[in-house]
A and B are shown apart, each in its own frame.
Chain A
């Protein structure tokens, strides 16, 4: 099992450019999440999904969009990147019941200039 994988690992964007981050999990998890990590602020939830075809806003959703067309994939889009979106982005997934913890991917480091 690869667990949770993220593509790409690093990316540099210019202000106003767009991009999509891909998260994939092979654990048949129902729930998936996107976080951003900034120094001194811990992890903050951007968007999450409780199943294929569903998405919901987290704590800091502005400037981001997501899609969950397949159960195993969760995409995070930036339509018009801003320097404030420079961050490390983590994807996570979890089961619905029982094993409640979230499993994390290795992260994507995004720099917006």
Chain B
């Protein structure tokens, strides 16, 4: 069965500091990996995705993530955080097995940005 672990429930960083959010996954085949962001009271917005190819993927809002197969990880990074990045971030894994393009989500990491 596929699963996603986001070990950090809450993270606080200062504006302008770098950010790394951790994501570890378990999947029996080649995974498709995603990071979504959710602002308060809103739906989920896709930040970036990895299907294949270059293991460092660029997303919107200056975010990037690196797929490391040997570590089963897909950590999200940003070199300089802005106050508007405060939100909840979800990592998700899916793939071609099982049908329906189903995704499994992690429990989320709440990011707080101190000014």
Contact = CB atoms under 8 A, between A and B. Distances in A.
Contact of A45 (B36, B41, B102): B102
Interface stretch (A12-20, A67-75, A78-86, A100-108): A100-108
B23 to A, nearest CB: 12
A40 B107 contact: yes
B11 interface: no
Contacts of B99: 50
B103 to A, nearest CB: 6
Interface in B69-115: 90, 94, 99-103, 105-108
B102 A100 contact: no
**Interface residues of A, dominant DSSP:** strand
A58 B104 CA distance: 11
**Range class of the B interface residue count:** 20 to 34
Interface string A1-41: 00010000000000000000000000000010100000011
**Range class of the A interface residue count:** 20 to 34
23 contacts: A4-B43, A31-B100, A40-B9, A40-B107, A42-B105, A42-B106, A43-B90, A45-B102, A48-B100, A50-B99, A94-B101, A100-B32, A100-B49, A100-B51, A100-B101, A101-B34, A101-B49, A102-B103, A104-B36, A104-B44, A104-B45, A106-B42, A107-B43
Given A43-B90, A92-B44, A101-B46, 8 more contacts: A31-B101, A33-B102, A42-B4, A42-B90, A58-B102, A100-B32, A101-B34, A104-B36
